[in-house]
Structure 1
Amino acid sequence: MENLLLLHGALGAATMLEPLKQALAESYNVYTLNFAGHGGNALLEQGYSIELFAQNVVDFMRDRQLEQVHIFGYSMGGYVGLYLAQQYPGLIKSVFTLATKFAWSEETAAKEVKMLNPDKIKEKVPQFAAMLAQHHAPQLWEQVMHKTAAMMQQLGKQPVLTPDILAQLQLPVQVAVGDQDTMVSLEETIAAYRNLPNGRLLVLPATKHPLETIAVSRLAQEINLFLAHTPASIPA
Structure 2
Amino acid sequence: MSKKNLLLLHGALGSAAQLAPLKEELSSHFDNIQSLTFSGHGGQSLNSIDFSIDTFTKDVIAFLDERGIDQTDIFGYSMGGYVALNLALLHPTMVGRIFTLGTKLEWSAEIAQKEVKMLNAEKIEEKVPAFAKMLEQRHAPVGWKEVLQKTTSMMINLGNGAALSFDRFKDIRQPVVIGIGDEDNMVTMEESETVANLLPGGELRVFKGFKHPLEQVDVKILAEEIKQFVS
Q: What TM-score range do you get, normalising by the shorter chain?
A: over 0.9
Q: What residue identity is the alignment partner of 1:12?
A: G
**1:15 maps onto 2:14 in alignment:** no
- Once the 2 structures are TM-superposed, how far is the Cα of residue 44 of structure 1 from its aligned partner? 2.7
Hey, what does 1:84 align to over in structure 2? 87
Q: What residue identity is the alignment partner of 2:78?
A: S
Contact 1:47 1:150 in 2 (8 A): no
Contact 2:98 2:177 in 1 (8 A): yes
Distance 1:147 1:112 in 2: 14
Q: What residue identity is the alignment partner of 2:20?
A: E
TM-score w.r.t. length of structure 1: 0.95
- Once the 2 structures are TM-superposed, how far is the Cα of residue 205 of structure 1 from its aligned partner? 1.0
Identity %: 48
**What does the per-residue CA deviation read over 1:12-71, in whole Å, with 9 as the maximum and x for residues that have no partner?**
110010000011111111101100000111113242000000000000001111111100
**What does the per-residue CA deviation read over 1:147-175, in whole Å, with 9 as the maximum and x for residues that have no partner?**
00000000001143212110011110000
Hey, what does 2:223 align to over in structure 1? 220
Q: 1:5 aligns with which of 4, 7, 10?
A: 7
Distance 1:219 1:44 in 2: 35
Contact 1:36 1:56 in 2 (8 A): yes
In the alignment, structure 1 segments of 5+ residues that lack a partner are 229-236
- Once the 2 structures are TM-superposed, how far is the Cα of residue 207 of structure 1 from its aligned partner? 1.2
**1:176 maps onto 2:184 in alignment:** no
Task: State the SS of the aligned residue for 2:33.
Answer: strand
Contact 1:109 1:153 in 2 (8 A): yes
Q: What residue identity is the alignment partner of 1:94?
A: R
Distance 1:132 1:105 in 2: 27
Moved more, 35-44 or 156-165: 156-165
Contact 2:82 2:103 in 1 (8 A): yes
Contact 1:95 1:174 in 2 (8 A): yes
Contact 1:207 1:213 in 2 (8 A): yes
Structure 1 residue runs of 4 or more that deviate by more than 4 Å after TM superposition: none
Distance 1:96 1:42 in 2: 29
TM-score w.r.t. length of structure 2: 0.97
Distance 1:46 1:138 in 2: 16
Distance 2:195 2:93 in 1: 22
Hey, what does 1:144 align to over in structure 2? 147
Q: 1:193 aligns with which of 196, 199, 209?
A: 196
Q: 1:33 aligns with which of 36, 41, 47?
A: 36
Distance 2:34 2:139 in 1: 19
Task: State the SS of the aligned residue for 1:44.
Answer: coil
More helix by share: 2
**1:135 maps onto 2:104 in alignment:** no
Distance 1:202 1:159 in 2: 26
Q: 2:50 aligns with which of 47, 52, 73?
A: 47
Task: State the SS of the aligned residue for 1:192.
Answer: helix
Distance 1:53 1:43 in 2: 13
Q: 1:102 aligns with which of 96, 102, 105?
A: 105
Aligned-residue CA RMSD in angstroms? 0.8
- Once the 2 structures are TM-superposed, how far is the Cα of residue 94 of structure 1 from its aligned partner? 1.2
Distance 1:54 1:5 in 2: 13
